[in-house]
Amino acid sequence: MIPFFSIIIPSYNRADFIKNTIESVQFQTFENWECIVVDDGSIDNTREIIEALIIKDSRIKYIYQNNAERSAARNNGIKNAQGKYVCFLDSDDSFEQNHLNELYNEIELKRNPIALFFTNYIICQNEKKIPQIFPKLGDDVIDYLFYNPIIPARVCIHSKILNTFNFDEDIVIVEDLLLWIKIALKYPLFHIEKETVIYNLHEDNSINIKNNSALKRLNGIKLFINKYPEIKNEIPKKMWDSIIGDSHFNLMKYYLYNKSKKLALKHLIISLYRQKRHHQLKHKLYVLFMILFNRRIIEYES
């Protein structure tokens, strides 16, 4: 039987998480799915864990590739997917039991459109679930995508779209935003306002401040702008200023965390220049004052 959903899980050295992640797919109330785990060159026992699961559940597939980062792994999964709709799940996150069922009901309600669907998520930190508040998707879809980043685990896309659009393997951190924008410029997006994904926060997250994801994000944005001028021109300058300003502000946090106040000050000033009007303006000015007068900023200390 052809699966209705293909769930693609890129994984690199996530043996400690991957079993729970796959089990969250197995525990779905909707059962017509395949789960494709793309092992991006792991050197731990990821393969053994997944092969043990495959013996008991043939809906799970395993693909090994040499390390090429998560965009290449997701694209490899897309290439091998047979489902009508494709979902994504990072190897340290999980689905609530109703995730696929909620997607299926909405897809059927909308009569199986060639479109992108996305749900809401819950943050889980130290085994404590923290509900998140998300605005409703309005008419300005591009504006929504810029100011409300959507993690891949929330997303479900008709496979026909992915025959044309894939993740850009040259861009890191914002590769998902770029793909969602490409899709939104041509296809409809639908927001399912239910929390069906669990996003796990832990020390090894790519967005953890110690990993300096802000620099990768900033470099990805710059490459995005240079590589896709046709998309750049579709988006107001204030949006680019906002996302670049946020990246510099996060770089400031990284340098404060590592006690490099001069570099922190540099990126804070760039952030202020890029975002002259911003809801965090007072906080930024407070941080600026604290740096200039060599005061402790406890919330950004290591």
Q: Is the pLDDT of residue 194 over 90?
A: yes
Token output for 120 = 């809401």
Based on its alpha-carbon atoms, the radius of gyration of the chain, rounded to whole angstroms, reads 20
Q: Is the pLDDT of residue 279 over 80?
A: no
Q: Is the pLDDT of residue 278 over 70?
A: no
Q: Cβ–Cβ contacts within 10 Å for residue 102, how many?
A: 21
CB within 8 A of 134, min separation 6: which ones?
120, 148, 193
**Mean per-residue pLDDT, 197-216:** 74
Q: Is the pLDDT of residue 207 over 60?
A: no
Q: Is the pLDDT of residue 297 over 90?
A: no
**Mean per-residue pLDDT, 56-71:** 96
pLDDT of residue 302: 58
pLDDT of residue 65: 97
Mean residue pLDDT across the chain: 91
pLDDT of residue 203: 65
CB within 8 A of 108, min separation 6: which ones?
none
Q: Is the pLDDT of residue 205 over 90?
A: no
Are 123 and 221 spatial neighbours (Cβ–Cβ below 8 Å)?
no
- Kindly report the pTM of this predicted structure: 0.91
Q: Cβ–Cβ contacts within 10 Å for residue 118, how many?
A: 25
Token output for 82 = 């047979």
Token output for 232 = 């750049």
How many Å apart are CA 14 and CA 204, to the nearest integer?
A: 10
Q: Is the pLDDT of residue 10 over 90?
A: yes
**Mean per-residue pLDDT, 114-139:** 92
The H-or-E segment that residue 155 falls in is: strand 155-158
The β-bridge relationship of strands 128-131 and 116-125 is antiparallel
- The share of the chain scoring above pLDDT 90, in percent, equals 69
Are 194 and 142 spatial neighbours (Cβ–Cβ below 8 Å)?
no
Instruction: Note the pLDDT tens digit of each residue in 134-160.
Output: 999 998 999 999 889 899 999 999 999
Residue 48 — φ and ψ, nearest 5°? -65, -40
CB within 8 A of 152, min separation 6: which ones?
74, 88, 89, 90, 176
- Measured in residues, the chain has a length of 302
Identify the DSSP state of 299. Answer: G
CB within 8 A of 171, min separation 6: which ones?
71, 178, 220, 223, 224, 227
Please report where in the chains the tokens 């998520």 appear, as a residue: 121
Buried b (16+ CB within 10 A) or exposed e, 237-266: eeebbbbbbbbbbbbbbbbbbeeebeebbe
Could you tell me what percentage of the chain is helix, strand and coil, using 3-state DSSP and rounding each to the nearest 5? Answer: 45, 20, 35
pLDDT of residue 149: 86
Instruction: Note the pLDDT tens digit of each residue in 15-45.
Output: 999 999 999 999 999 999 999 999 999 999 9
Q: Please, what is the Cα angle at 295 between 294 and 300, to 5 degrees?
A: 110
Instruction: Note the pLDDT tens digit of each residue in 78-108.
Output: 999 999 999 999 999 999 999 999 999 999 9
Are 1 and 82 spatial neighbours (Cβ–Cβ below 8 Å)?
no
Binned at pLDDT 50, 70 and 90, residue 301 comes out as: low
The H-or-E segment that residue 51 falls in is: helix 46-56
Identify the DSSP state of 174. Answer: S
Binned at pLDDT 50, 70 and 90, residue 7 comes out as: very high
